[in-house]
Structure 1
Amino acid sequence: MTQSISERFVRSRKVDKTTNWKSQTQLIWDPDEVETHYEQPKNAFCHFRKVFNLPEIPHKAALKIFADSRYVLYINGHPIGRGPCRSDPRMQYYDEWEVTSHLKSGANVIAILAIHYGYGTGQSVNRIPALIAEAEIQVGVESPIVISSDTTWTCHPASAYNRNAPRINGCQGPIEIYDARLALIGWTGLPFDDSAWKPVKGRNSVLSPFWNWAMRDIPHLEEGIVDAQAIVNTGFVQQFSDPVERIHHQIFAEERFIQITGGRLDDKISDYSVERNVDGLASIITFEFPVMEVGYLQLDVTGCQGAVIDVVYAEELWEGKALINLAYSRQIDRFILAEGRNQLEIAFAWRAFRYVQFRVRSTEGPVVFHRVGVRTRKYPLEQTAFLHSSNERLNGIWEISARTLRLCMQDGFLDSSSREQQQWMGDGRWQAVINSYFSGDSRLHRKLLEQIGQSQDWQGMTKARYPDGHHNYPPIPSFCLAWISAFADYRRYTGDDALIREWWPKLVGALRWFSTYENEDGLLEDVPYWAFIDWAEGPDGPLLDDQRGGIITSLNLQYVEALQAACTYAELEGDSEALHYYAEKAQQIKSGLQQYLWDEEKGAYVDCKVSDRLSEVVSEQTNALALLHLHEASDERAQIVYRAVFGEDKKGQVVAGSPYFMLVICRALQKVGAVTRALELIMNRYGAMLDAGSTTTWEKWTLFHNDNEGTVFFFSASHAWGTAPIAFVFEGIFGIQSLEPGFKRISLSPAYGAVSHIHAKLPTVYGELELHLRQISTSEWELEVDVPEGCLCEIEGDLLGKGRHVLSIGGV
């Protein structure tokens, strides 16, 4: 559709005026900590309260709220929710909660625990200490009662939280060190004496660093309660003593002195008593959850005043130990007990873990663990895909893939639900594609594209992850190309091309950035910044040759993909000049790669060319991209590549793709008709995770790495970039291709022989597409398809509409 003049030159308003706050609603904070805009407190935990009266029970009430950096909201003592979701402060999201059922006639109280980090994280861009809230309460037929954050609110420092706590890592906020002896009992409800609290300081919500306000465009996260299922070991550890600022150093130093002396206890998990410490030793006790969970740890424990419980979270254990890494994974918290029974819950620092290892430090008496649990959090999905097959190993791989995808779907597509919790573009692209098959919910997909776009600089380059406020890594050019190409993914799976029209000028700007680094043959050469393509097999196996500069083959192939996507966008926009330019440019690069990066002797494309010399490294990553973007399946060179790089009898060393690249590899093998080979790779590589007892998919093919000096490094065990088997079931085994965007018209070309029986359900905007493939005899198959209304399905020359269809296929 050709863009009209107004659409090309005039931009519509993105934020409706109705989303502004009422004139009396102010940004508030503790007056002792907001003297200026430029001197900000660090790890500032603060309580806020507002007591108000209602003449009767309301019939409708909603509360809008935002905090920089985080909040927990209570109404009359009832926990309502946490927030806000990640956003760019220039388009600042706020939350809205339905609170009608929690209000009553007479006195009511809004209570909020908030924290201002005072620094940027991988989920938040630091601005100023700020809380803003506005409740609109409908009582009777009169105008609503409005309760606004202003100077009538009171506040009090949340002294139970230690502000000197170090950060979890560069991507997250502080470790929570909580002293229950200093807790304000009953502060979230009524009655409570807050006469000693001070009035807040209020600031104009218009003259602030939050320029545009918008209600969050994704649903509130879904919460649940899960209890630990077993104690897996017990023991002791020699205690060290460090100030709280160095709690991570203390925990790390003690690691090598841990002695595991007791085994699994399945039937003694409730009211388990840990005796008091003697001889300078702390007790070790490790609880296990049925599967990996994401959320806020909950403890119900009884102990003596001042007893300390250090918490070390682990996705997996190494020789019975929960390990930390001082540089990037300080997954720890600390509780200091009040006398008697303590009901404890982490406020802000949500984690991913299957194991919780406690170091109990109590010299005065025992500590009794009545319950260990977690308040889980995940993105709510109305429907999800289904799989059951005759291959139990495939079923298990599907299960761990689906679980990992859910864990990493939070307020964005996150790389890892444990270590970083960041929205990376490269990771997010494949998660969004995979989720298009898993749930069909496209809201996080759209949010990913818009928020990465918000990071674009004046030259056109996007940040590799966003929103983030710690700026500790340069851009990744391949992730910028992924952003460009991902708009085509979004259109393919949703049928919505409005996003392309909105972002077309910015997409052109991003491609313009790459043009700066084209050589005389049109190939990208010596492109700056972080040349990340894939982790490959490191650190235990061979790596890609992509860090020496020069012409990186895989980056050029990703450039081809982005240019070809841009041709589609240009055609949609009626931009004939762009269409012609990008088509010519893509062809020029393809020709150059075929001429200059092919190694005839190896029968493959090499990773790079530096100073006119071809690399010796051949990789799955480079050649999978070549199969997808350089060759048709019938090309002679495509068959040579398959045999040399992916065949079972390949000769010479080939660098394997990590879980991140498995979707690309599977798609390449599907293109050349090697679905069975793709399934073999999935079974072998992901099967190792099943064999290790994992309930999630990993960042790499190995989880722990023991270096030559005896130091054990570990990688993420909940990395959703590795959930490609979900998409492979539909794209590979059933051979689904989208002929019209949004699954309105699809084709099926099943891989007969891959699995003898498989049953799957694919959620679409039209309803579930249900698929059964059964082997009847050696050469006969039955395919049963239930097509939802609004969808058309092509198979074996037939066009199937709404309803159940059974096809018999013989001679396969």
Structure 2
Amino acid sequence: MSTNEGGRLTMWHASWIWGSGEESPRNEWRCFRKSFHYEAAVSSNTTVKLTADSRYVLYVNGVQVGRGPVRSWPFELAYDEYEIGHLLRAGSNTIAVLVLHYGVATFQYLRGRGGLLLQAASTTEDGTERIIAATDSSWTTAVHDGYDARSSRISCQLAFAERYDARSLNDTWTEIAFDDSVWESAVVIGNAGMAPWTSLVPRDIPYLTEEPIYPARVEEMNFVKPAAWNAVFDVRTLLIPESVNHANPTSFVGFMATVVTLSEAATFTIGSVDNGRIPLRVSIDGKWLDAADYYGENPQQFVKAELSAGEHFLLFNLSRGSHGHGYHLGLHADVSFEVRSPLEGKNGAAASSVPFAAIGAFDWAEHIDHQPDSPMRKEQPEHDAMLGVGSAEQLLREFPEWVREVPEELFTRTDVYGESVWHVVEQPQPVPVQLQQAVLASGNSAVVPVHAELDTELVIDFGRELSGYIAFEVDAAEGTIIDGYGFEFMRDGWRQHTYELDNTFRYTCREGRQSYVSVVRRGLRYLAITVRGASRPVKLVEVKLLQSNFPVANVGVFQSSNAMLNEIWRVSRDTTRLCMEDTFVDCPAFEQTYWVGDARNASLINYYAFGDAAIVERCLRLVPGSSFQSPLYGDQVPSGWSSVIPNWTFFWITACLEHYQYTGNEQFARDMWPHVRFTLEHYLEHIDERGLLCKRGWNLLDWANFEQPGDGVVTPQNMFLVKSLRDAAAFASAAGDEAGGSVLLERASMLRSAINAQLWDEDRAAYLDCIHNDGRPSATVSMQTQVIAMLCDIAEGDRAEVLDRYVVEPPAHFVQIGSPFMSFFYYEALAKLGHQDTMTADILHQYGAMINNGATSVWEVYPTSGITHNPKMLTRSHCHAWSAGPAFFLGAEVLGVRGASPGWTKVSIAPKPVGLSWARGSVPLPGSGRIDVSWTLDTAANVMKLRVVAPQRVELSYEQPGGYELEIEEVRIG
């Protein structure tokens, strides 16, 4: 097969290869090697092109070269290209690739099959290309025996946690001298162009950074002991095996059972430190424990029972729904106990490696929000009968056809999360100064204190939120365990655990000094490192995080006379950078997911903070690939979760127009216009007889308690559709389709008229939030709806004046804005109405609360939102790009810099004082250069002194701020 790379035809001589096992194994870490002879004198340039399913790490002669590929649709799989000539030597050389194949669908990956495609070539001075290595059956391969394939899912959004044993025989497998003679020959599975990777496209963005960041201090040291027995189950796959093929929500009816034998009578504790959205419900010997018996910080759940010596039958009701999170289960008593499967002894069955049995599923359903639901049966006689089972014997007698073993790959006792979160003993210790010094980048090392009976936990504070790859170096005895657990927030001894995120790793040491670099990306501020089972002192030599993000410079700058505003701008900028990977992602810890609607706002912030266009274009071009899942386009892509939030698609349309306006790239407009038109045509099919958009689905706008039902007419959604139709018309004009744009403008006008005719409530002098599917108008009236009405130019005349008052002074009885994401639209509306002073005051109030609570990045929700239902848990995610709006608005409104033509060949400068005495900063220009703005107020003379530095090529216009004369000093460069 051939692909076209930048207009130059490149032939793939390589074949896709894999091992001789399963096509799509679960959580398989597979090594590939090829040795070859190289003559350094014959070439002027040597490169390697490769891609893999699902992810790879590339090594040349033992040196890590890169990681990839970037997330992409399997039918448009991206490949990477690296220069490797400087790593080669005359004579024998080795290329080695570690491929991690997920074997399950995630929020950034569609399940395919395992595969590696690689081609290395030298280009001679006369332009001749010579292949020096290409994947074929001459390559060798082996499953890496150091990685535990039974490790637990990180989350429903991500793949698997990292469990590495350095005693592995393959620990030096990337080196030239490694003997791979016992490895198998790779199996050729097809040529380039085979399914599912029918098209190969070159990477379209730069490689991500890997910048070493060292900790700020050791926050705590504790001697700890975990519960006696911990495990993680993949309940979703256990009860619905075919669910590995998608990431859609599921519901099911099923159970698990085990037999616990106590050596003597004791208090027995059953706990789940993270129930994975499946509440802990257990019966002991046929008696279901009452809801009032459970305790713990939701979603942690614990229950205690006084048990006699001997056997006890435990039955767990798993009937609920799951998106794919792990089900963490712990058992503890101060006496010895054994756990075994109820199936042991049945028909002479031997002891099972998994001491639980599965029962069911009696029924299950998969849910896709934009498709008709597939409900489960309302009556579940098997479920009701199971509730009365009180012994293993009764279970096997009455339900023999439903009881089965739990597959080994869906169960692990290596529950690092459980052991890190549930401590039955915790003894705080003073931190030795040598340990404080050792965590710094000073070359110091220190001995980690160990306890004869307890584990040693160090809580390391990196001082700010980070995202990337943990790396460390220790000197330890063989078999010593180093557990790592990353989290984002702690205060006054309380830790905010990463519920529904198994943000952990386990490293089992070989003897001596050793180092490790994680291959799994994670976000965190704090890293709890726990040393377990040390037979001699452990020396900590180094710990760091390789900060990995899209490579952007801090071109944008903002400073002012208000120190709080400056800090808010800085953390907003830093948050956006942390959420720039191979796409924009919502957060670096919990999800690492490209949410399409979030990315529209992040794109604008990026323009003002960094001025990068490549990552935005990559994100926008990925979206239409979801059309095979829905013509309405996915809300997160590329993803195994087939999900649609209509507003997110509408924001994507607006983002396409804004990207054209920023770059002036007409080819982008011509390429994307057919996709914009395609999805809008399908949305318009959902216009009902009232002339309104009425659609069943996930009709989300904000995390707030206003009515945005899953079926019916949702008012803000209709309003955003009006704006999308108008924006699409402007985009059509840029693409050269004036006629197509005119059609959309007409439809926008018709929809606007229908909104005003049917969704305005005269009695409440406001727009309804919705009309339910049964015809009921919403009981709530929200700021969300009124803000969007103003932003989308829905109201006119007296209604517009009413909304203007609401936007500036929100009525107390209206549902208030519930997230910084919604605030972005609120600030857009305020800026549009000329209320930048109100906008800035709200930024200082809402974001100032984050800063006052120690934020180093902006949060998913405001600390005053109450959404988490836990006064200690001020937000879920502590780093969320959808919240970073101040980095855009302070540049666009306070500095006053806005593009006035496609490509910003014309720029308007309209600064707003907003109560400041001075402000200065920089705004990046598309392509190259920037505009520097500084202004000061002379209040006595009512004069704003404005200095602007800009390239000669940019045409500038100025707008006088209200109440001040403008004195301009204009400096031109280039």
For normalisation by structure 2, the TM-score amounts to 0.75
1:668, CA displacement in angstroms? 0.3
Equivalent residue for 2:509, pick from 337, 342, 347: 337
1:28 maps onto 2:20 in alignment: no
For 2:908 and 2:735, how far apart are their aligned partners in 1? Answer: 27
For residues 700-742 of structure 1, the C-alpha deviation after alignment (integer angstroms, 9 at most, x for no partner) is 1139979779996961111101110011012221333432112
* Paired residue secondary structure (1:493): helix
Amino acid at match of 1:86: R
Q: Secondary structure at the match of 2:490?
A: coil
Secondary structure, aligned partner of 1:666: helix
Determine if the alignment matches structure 1 residue 489 to structure 2 residue 658.
yes
**Displacement of 1:474:** 2.6
Deviation at 1:134, TM superposition (A): 0.8
| Distance of aligned partners of 1:29 and 1:752 in 2 relative to their CA distance in 1, 3 Å threshold | same
| Counterpart check, 1:60 vs 2:45 | yes
The question of whether the paired residues in 2 share the 8 Å contact of 1:248 and 1:330 is answered with no
Give the total of aligned pairs: 771
| 8 A Cα contact 1:74 1:188, kept in partner | yes
Work out whether residues 160 and 180 of structure 1, in 8 Å CA contact, stay in contact via their aligned partners in 2.
yes
Query: Which one-letter code corresponds to 1:87 in the other structure?
Result: S
Q: Which residue of 1 aligns with 2:706?
A: 544
Q: Are the structure 2 counterparts of residues 711 and 392 from structure 1 closer, same or farther at C-alpha, using a change threshold of 3 Å?
A: closer
Instruction: Describe the shift of the 1:344–1:309 C-alpha distance in structure 2 as closer, same or farther (beyond 3 A).
Output: same
Q: 1:519-558 residue pairs with structure 2 within 5 A?
A: 519-525=688-694, 527-536=695-704, 543-547=705-709, 549-558=711-720
Aligned CA distance change for structure 1 residues 243 and 703 (closer, same or farther; 3 Å): farther
Shift of 1:458: 7.8
1:274 paired residue number: 448
Aligned twin of 2:938:
776
User: What corresponds to 2:69 in structure 1?
Assistant: 84
The residue number in structure 2 matching 1:652 is: 813
The residue that corresponds to 1:168 in the other structure is 154
Contact preservation (8 Å) 1:43, 1:115: yes
Superposition deviation, residue 248 in structure 1: 7.5
> What's the CA shift for 1:236?
3.2
**Alignment partner of 1:424 is 2:586:** no
Query: Aligned equivalents of 1:748 and 1:140: distance in 2?
Result: 51
- CA 1:575 to 1:61, structure 2 compared with 1: closer, same or farther past 3 Å? closer
Find the partner of 1:668 among 829, 851, 858. 829
Q: Equivalent residue of 1:464, what SS?
A: coil
Per the alignment, residue 498 of structure 1 pairs with: 667
- Unmatched 5+ residue regions in structure 1? 1-12, 537-542, 799-803
- 1:391 and 1:65, CA in 2 relative to 1: closer, same or farther beyond 3 A? same
Deviations along 1:203-252, one digit per CA (max 9) or x if unpaired, are: 33233421111110111112211111210011133323335734585633
Match of 1:378, SS?
coil
- Once residues 585 and 465 of structure 1 are traced to their aligned partners in structure 2, the CA distance between those partners, rounded to angstroms, is 27
Which amino acid counterpart does residue 723 of structure 2 have in structure 1? E
Task: Say yes or no: does 1:298 pair with 2:471.
Answer: yes
The answer to whether the Cα contact below 8 Å between 1:603 and 1:644 also exists between their aligned partners in 2 is no
Residues 738-773 of structure 1 show CA distances to partners (whole Å, capped at 9, x for unaligned) of: 321121112222213432111111111351111011
> Are 1:259 and 2:426 matched, yes or no?
yes
Structure 2 equivalent of residue 360 of structure 1: 531
CA shift for structure 1 position 630: 2.2
Q: Which residue of structure 1 lines up, in the alignment, with residue 574 of structure 2?
A: 403
How far apart, CA to CA, are the structure 1 residues paired with 2:585 and 2:629?
26
In the alignment, does 2:940 pair up with 1:767? no
User: Of residues 188, 191, 203 in structure 2, which corresponds to 1:202?
Assistant: 188
> Displacement of 1:489 after TM fit?
1.2
CA distance in 1, matches of 2:882, 2:871: 29
The DSSP-based 3-state class of the residue aligned with 1:479 is helix
Once the 2 structures are TM-superposed, how far is the Cα of residue 548 of structure 1 from its aligned partner? Answer: 5.5
Identify the residue that residue 27 of structure 2 maps to in structure 1.
43
> Is 2:414 the partner of 1:242?
no
Larger Rg: 2
Partner of 1:444: 615
Q: Which residue of 2 aligns with 1:584?
A: 746
Following the alignment from structure 1 to structure 2, what is the Cα–Cα distance between the partners of residues 452 and 340?
49
2:950 aligns with one of 780, 787, 794: 787
Distance 2:512 2:917 in 1: 60
- The one of 132, 135, 144 equivalent to 1:149 is 135
The aligned counterpart of 1:562 is: 724
Name the CA distance, whole Å, in 1 between partners of 2:703 and 2:189.
Answer: 47
Match runs of 1:725-736 below 5 Å: 725-736=886-897
AA matched with 1:251: Y
Cα offsets for 1:646-693 (capped at 9, x unmatched)? 417x44243214111222111100111110110011111111111111
1:86 shift after superposition: 0.8
Q: Secondary structure at the match of 2:57?
A: strand
2:618 aligned with 1:456, yes or no?
Answer: no
What is the CA–CA distance in structure 1 between the aligned matches of 2:183 and 2:65, rounded to whole Å?
23
Counterpart contact for 1:481–1:559, Cα < 8 Å = yes
Distance 1:456 1:548, change over 3 A: closer
Q: Retained in 2: the 8 A contact 1:230–1:267? A: no
Mapped to 2, the partners of 1:29 and 1:754 lie a distance apart of 64
Partner of 2:330: none
User: Which letter does structure 1 place at the counterpart of 2:509?
Assistant: L
Q: Is the 8 A contact 1:425 1:480 kept in 2?
A: yes
Whole-angstrom CA distance in 2 between matches of 1:467 and 1:457:
11
What is residue 214 of structure 2 aligned with on the other side? 227
| Structure 2 equivalent of residue 101 of structure 1 | 86
Match of 1:284 among 453, 457, 471: 457
1: distance between equivalents of 2:413 and 2:873?
20
- Identical amino acids, percent of aligned pairs: 28
Distance in 1, matches of 2:182 and 2:744, equals 68
The answer to whether the Cα contact below 8 Å between 1:315 and 1:353 also exists between their aligned partners in 2 is yes
1:695 partnered with 2:856: yes
> Take 1:148 and 1:29, find their aligned partners in 2: how far apart are those partners?
13
What is the CA–CA distance in structure 2 between the aligned matches of 1:265 and 1:144, rounded to whole Å?
Answer: 59
Distance 2:105 2:78 in 1: 17
Q: What is the alpha-carbon distance in structure 2 between the residues aligned to residue 334 and residue 277 of structure 1? A: 20
Q: Give deviations 1:101-151, integer Å, cap 9, x for gaps.
A: 111111111111111111222222221111111111246658443111112
Deviation at 1:184, TM superposition (A): 2.8
Distance (Å, rounded) in 1 between the aligned partners of 2:865 and 2:498: 12
- Aligned residue in 2 for 1:310: 483
SS at match of 2:198: coil
Deviation at 1:488, TM superposition (A): 0.9
**1:638 matched to 2:807:** no
Q: Does 1:738 align with 2:899?
A: yes
In structure 2, the CA distance between the partners of 1:719 and 1:19, relative to structure 1 (3 Å rule), is farther
* Structure 2 spans left out of the alignment, 5+ residues: 233-410, 439-444, 962-966
Question: Aligned with 1:590: secondary structure?
Answer: helix
Q: Which sits farther off after the overlay, 499-508 or 398-407? A: 499-508
1:253 is displaced (CA, Å) by 6.6
Query: Which amino acid in structure 1 is aligned with residue 30 of structure 2?
Result: C
User: Partners in 2 of 1:267 and 1:596 — Cα distance?
Assistant: 71
3-state secondary structure, aligned to 1:751: coil
CA distance in structure 2 between the aligned counterparts of 1:184 and 1:704, rounded to whole angstroms: 50
TM-score by length of 1: 0.89
2-side partners of 1:752 and 1:16: how far apart? 47
The alpha-carbon deviation at position 570 of structure 1 amounts to: 3.5
Tell me whether 358-367 or 717-726 shows the greater mean CA deviation: 358-367
Quote the residue 1:9 is aligned against.
none
